[in-house]
Amino acid sequence: DADVTQTPRNRITKTGKRIMLECSQTKGHDRMYWYRQDPGLGLRLIYYSFDVKDINKGEISDGYSVSRQAQAKFSLSLESAIPNQTALYFCATSDLAGGQPQHFGDGTRLSIL
Amino acid sequence: GESVGLHLPTLSVQEGDNSIINCAYSNSASDYFIWYKQESGKGPQFIIDIRSNMDKRQGQRVTVLLNKTVKHLSLQIAATQPGDSAVYFCAENPKAGGTSYGKLTFGQGTILTVHP
């Protein structure tokens, strides 16, 4: 979805480095999410935010942190990257109303050596 | 159907055939369901959704069926085309109305391959 933009699209880095993945959206949605996808697995929720002042942990938040800088921006940080955090990361947004689909960016492929 | 593990279920069909992709969901409190399509190098793309007060919903060439009794969801694609080749995910939302959690739980995915 071109309305959800993730940067960078690809990143290779070393163990122990701090990394920030950024997400911006033009859909005007209040809710934003960060997911991780590993080969052969579905998407797993890392963190989510229902508005600018709201941050919640997902099922796999350990080793990650997030910042909701504005309604349109939600960044994911790996404070000290480790190899098993190598994965595909997706940002998604959804409308405030319940029962609405999430709209995804095209992902960031992160490799940690 | 979808299953947990590293090896995704696969479905191979000929162009023009109808495809049926199945999904078993786990949470009986889920009342909103979505199907996504993911092509290589892209994020999941919304296909169709259905609420639990419905058994069937149709879109363009796609139909979603919901059987709450056995907690089963299916996606039917009519006249499948090579461009339909992708990984298909189902997702459930534990609660769609009122105090919605707004979170989705995803299945593992099914690889659909359409042969010309």
Percent pLDDT > 90 in chain B is 70
pLDDT the model gives residue B104? 85
- Average pLDDT value for residue range B16-35: 92
- If phi over 0 gives left and psi between -120 and 50 gives alpha, with beta otherwise, what is residue B79? left
Average pLDDT, chain A: 93
How far apart are the CA of A17 and the nearest CA of chain B, in angstroms? Answer: 25
Tens of pLDDT, residue by residue over B58-75, are 999 999 999 999 999 999
Q: Does A47 touch chain B (CB under 8 A)?
A: no
Q: Give residue-wise pLDDT tens across range A8-58.
A: 999 999 999 999 999 999 999 999 999 999 987 789 999 999 888 899 999
Contacts of B102 in chain A (CB under 8 A): 31, 48, 50, 94, 98, 100
If you average pLDDT over every residue of chain B, what do you get?
Answer: 87
**Interface contact A63, partner B, CB < 8 A:** no
**Nearest-by-CA chain A residue for B89:** A42
